[in-house]
Chain A
């Protein structure tokens, strides 16, 4: 099935992707963001907070935004 995936990590990425049916939010995160901790990210499905075991559905909009991002100074 197709979902719209917004990854705000690194360079940023937003596109429609194909995922397997019945995939949960947790499985999706582990697949897309290997070796990352879910608690370091805001995960929203259709702009709403979700539980890890929520099953994704066709046309869902999933966004992943890091909560621990380092800013800088221009001089740095």
Chain B
């Protein structure tokens, strides 16, 4: 960037930053109004509490005490916030400051340029590699007109110049960037503050720090899954539409290695499906049970409960006449001819 161009950009940045500051000041609710509101609520709660006590309404006392404490706490926090915000007095940012920020950006980053048509200051990073994944270089684009409207992060786009997007989604060009929007995580407060106060060089350095670090715990897509998720069984990498999740073992499978339970229709991998000994259909562990009598795996459709012992058995194992399982059903021997000739003992004999 030439001295002239730098000066021109600095003028634009200063102009729109000041517009943003004025806009913000106009939208701020006077602190006295906020305090008066909280104070009014606190007094009302206290009045209710003393009324309840004077009338012996002990049951409602804890609730009113809690409300009073809540309003007192809100008031205290508001006052503390006001006190701490006085330390960060809004200071004017001179043209020289913006100019020096541009000089610093040129020293810190691979490239700094301007898109006048779109009123963008563009800062380019070096190629970024996280783990084994080459994500390419990114351009950080500050729209200074948008900055005046919203000094927070909406004015900043993070654009992958040679995108190596996640297999799962073309919108994710970095574990912490989606559709060009950075999710700043731990850096959010510092980033807001830097852009709000006009400290552009530091704002861009914070964005760069987020881009060069990886937080596996809250990434849009984890690096190990960047190229897609391999099937847990055969190892083939498939796109998300052709992938199914097995709730039985918590792994992802391709369409060749997944099936579903014939009883509940839930997706399960082949290892998590058992075969019913009666109908030979595949069913999941929830829908199948092993009969303690026959040791057979029986699906929900083929399962019956023996009315004698309450045990689970296959429907075909129940006796046709008694409806009992083989253990409960005792064959009564057929009466023989000899036994028919024997006299029947009666109580009288």
Is B24's beta carbon under 8 Å from chain A?
no
Among B175, B187, B211, which residue has the most Cβ atoms of chain A within 10 A?
B187
Interface flags for A1-39 (1: CB within 8 Å of B; 0: not) read 000001011111111000000000000000000000000
Contacts of A13 in B (CB 8 A): 87-88, 193
Q: Is the interface of A mostly helix, strand, loop or mixed?
A: loop
Q: Are A47 and B217 in contact (CB under 8 A)?
A: no
Is B291's beta carbon under 8 Å from chain A?
no
For the complex, give the distance between the alpha carbons of A6 and B219 in Å.
29
Which residue in chain B gives the minimum CB-CB distance to A42? B205
Task: Tell me which of B63-71, B194-202, B226-234, B311-319 binds A.
Answer: B194-202
Q: A15-B88, A42-B205 are in contact. Are A76 and B217 (CB under 8 A)?
A: yes
Q: Are B190 and A10 in contact (CB under 8 A)?
A: yes
Q: Which of B183, B190, B217 is close to A11, meaning CB atoms less than 8 Å apart?
A: B190
Which residue in chain B gives the minimum CB-CB distance to A4? B91
Q: A15-B88, A71-B187, A73-B183 are in contact. Are A65 and B206 (CB under 8 A)?
A: yes
Q: Are A8 and B215 in contact (CB under 8 A)?
A: no
Contacts of A74 in B (CB 8 A): 178, 183
Interface residues on B, range: 35 or more
Q: Are A71 and B194 in contact (CB under 8 A)?
A: no
Is B129's beta carbon under 8 Å from chain A?
no
Q: Are A47 and B190 in contact (CB under 8 A)?
A: no
Interface flags for A40-76 (1: CB within 8 Å of B; 0: not) read 0010100110000000000000010111111111111
Shortest Cβ distance from residue A70 to the other chain B in the assembled complex, whole angstroms? 4
Q: Are B176 and A65 in contact (CB under 8 A)?
A: no
Q: A8-B194, A8-B206, A70-B185 are in contact. Are A15 and B87 (CB under 8 A)?
A: yes
Q: Are B213 and A69 in contact (CB under 8 A)?
A: yes
Q: Are A9 and B190 in contact (CB under 8 A)?
A: yes
Is B270's beta carbon under 8 Å from chain A?
no
For the complex, give the distance between the alpha carbons of A65 and B191 in Å.
11
For the complex, give the distance between the alpha carbons of A48 and B100 in Å.
11
Which residue in chain A gives the minimum CB-CB distance to B212? A67
Q: A14-B199, A65-B202, A69-B210 are in contact. Are A47 and B104 (CB under 8 A)?
A: yes
Which residue in chain B gives the minimum CB-CB distance to A40? B209
Q: A6-B199, A12-B193, A66-B209 are in contact. Are A73 and B104 (CB under 8 A)?
A: no
Is B265's beta carbon under 8 Å from chain A?
no
> Which A residues are closer than 8 A to B by beta carbons?
6, 8-15, 42, 44, 47-48, 63, 65-76
Q: Could you list some 23 contacts between A and B, CB below 8 A?
A: A6-B202, A12-B189, A12-B192, A15-B88, A42-B209, A65-B209, A66-B206, A68-B209, A69-B185, A69-B187, A69-B209, A70-B185, A70-B218, A71-B176, A71-B183, A71-B185, A71-B186, A71-B187, A72-B176, A72-B218, A74-B178, A75-B220, A76-B183
